[in-house]
């Protein structure tokens, strides 16, 4: 990790995570640091604040070959991409998650509402006016990767994508669950993420028919599966963690969810059981939970039958939960 010049960076091969926050600087230096470090070094933007109050920006940038993702919380400001900063032809989709904003690009001006996205080309100047503090997410990919998938790409630059568009919601949801490092742990996983995001970007932009079919079967399926797994991970203790409840929450048919897991060589039931056992094992071996009853741990990870939990745990780990805890306490 590097913390020089106010930037915290973590690199794993060709994958780099960069974090910037004005909170890391004295109040009088925050705006200058944001302009020089976040604006000109990281994002290639001119930044002009709209408020005389303390200017704040927090941003995380994730970069790898073929893909860049930025999540940020920003104070009111005008962000400009001047021609002198242009050095690539990336396709960019920016979503104002919690705030409205104005965009002027390729001769078009739009007032964007929260949840809507705008499509930009990094090869042309752009103007974005953010009137209130808000959260944003932006994703970019090389033109050469997106243009074969989308007909008449030039027609969509500077235009909005409605917040109600299912393809935009799917893209935004997929990007939002890519916060864990496991998704980028190996070059193969990173390549899969890049392909899936390219597919989802193409769908949101209006992929040509043949490309759309490929994107739906590849990127869209991966995005929905990751979203469903995230839902499972955050709700292992829920009594309604069933295929019917998941299908209702994700607006798909139960059989479609079952097929998603079958394509990975498992079933939803087996996957949920494995996740519950893995979490139980983690808690039993965590010294912070050494005083918690095993029955309480079993209940908290979603098991309603202690006998079934003990049998399943032994079947997976070759030892009963109580035996594992005893071995840990004895230092064995």
- Mean predicted confidence (pLDDT) in 209-218: 55
pLDDT tier, 3 (very low <50, low <70, confident <90, very high otherwise) = very low
- Among 55-59, 211-215, 265-269, name the one with the lowest average pLDDT: 211-215
- What is the CATH architecture assignment of 272-329? Orthogonal Bundle (1.10)
CA distance 180 to 7: 20
The reply to whether CATH 2.60.120.10 applies to domain 4-234 is yes
Q: Is the pTM of this model over 0.75?
A: no
Residue 6 has pLDDT above 70, yes or no: no
pLDDT tier, 138 (very low <50, low <70, confident <90, very high otherwise) = very high
Around Cβ 103, how many Cβ atoms within 10 Å?
24
Residue 1 has pLDDT above 50, yes or no: no
Residue 8 has pLDDT above 90, yes or no: no
CA dihedral 30, 35, 37, 41 (to 10 degrees): 170
Percent of the chain having pLDDT more than 70?
90
Residue 93 has pLDDT above 90, yes or no: yes
pLDDT in tens, 23-45: 898 888 888 888 888 887 778 88
Residue 195 has pLDDT above 80, yes or no: yes
- Give me the pLDDT at residue 123, please: 92
All structural domains of the chain with their residue ranges:
4-234, 272-329
Residue 141 has pLDDT above 90, yes or no: yes
Most confident listed range (62-71, 189-198, 213-222): 62-71
Residue 211 has pLDDT above 50, yes or no: no
Residue 218 has pLDDT above 80, yes or no: no
- Mean predicted confidence (pLDDT) in 287-303: 90
pLDDT tier, 180 (very low <50, low <70, confident <90, very high otherwise) = low
Around Cβ 67, how many Cβ atoms within 10 Å?
23
- Mean predicted confidence (pLDDT) in 220-243: 79
């Amino acid at each position: 990790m590097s913390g020089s010049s106010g930037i915290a960076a973590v690199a794993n091969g060709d994958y780099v995570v960069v974090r910037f926050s004005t909170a890391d600087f004295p109040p009088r230096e925050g705006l200058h640091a944001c302009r020089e470090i976040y604006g000109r070094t990281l994002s290639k933007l001119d930044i002009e604040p709209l408020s005389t109050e303390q200017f704040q920006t927090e941003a995380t940038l994730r970069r790898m070959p073929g893909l860049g993702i930025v999540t940020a919380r920003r104070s009111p400001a005008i962000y400009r991409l001047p021609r002198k900063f242009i050095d690539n032809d990336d396709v960019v989709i920016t979503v104002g998650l919690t705030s409205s904003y104005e965009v002027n690009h390729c001769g078009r001006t739009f007032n964007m509402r929260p949840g809507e996205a705008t499509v930009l080309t990094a090869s042309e100047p752009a103007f974005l006016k953010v009137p209130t503090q808000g959260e944003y997410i932006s994703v970019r990919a090389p033109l050469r990767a997106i243009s074969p998938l989308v007909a008449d790409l030039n027609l969509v630059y500077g235009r909005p994508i409605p917040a109600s568009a299912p393809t935009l919601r799917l893209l935004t949801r997929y990007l939002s669950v890519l916060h864990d490092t496991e998704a980028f742990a190996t070059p193969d996983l990173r390549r899969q993420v890049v392909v899936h995001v390219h597919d989802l970007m193409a769908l949101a932009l209006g992929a040509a028919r043949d490309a759309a079919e490929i994107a739906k079967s590849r990127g869209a399926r991966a995005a929905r599966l990751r979203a469903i797994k995230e839902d499972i991970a955050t709700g292992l203790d829920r009594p309604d963690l069933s295929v019917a409840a998941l299908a209702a929450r994700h607006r798909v048919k139960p059989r479609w969810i079952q097929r998603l897991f079958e394509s990975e060589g498992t079933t939803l039931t087996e996957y949920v059981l494995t996740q519950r056992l893995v979490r139980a094992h983690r808690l039993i071996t965590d010294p912070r939970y050494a005083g918690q009853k095993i029955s309480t741990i079993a209940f908290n990870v979603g098991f309603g039958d202690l006998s079934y939990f003990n049998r399943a745990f032994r079947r997976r780990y070759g030892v009963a939960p109580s035996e594992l805890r005893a071995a840990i306490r004895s230092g064995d």
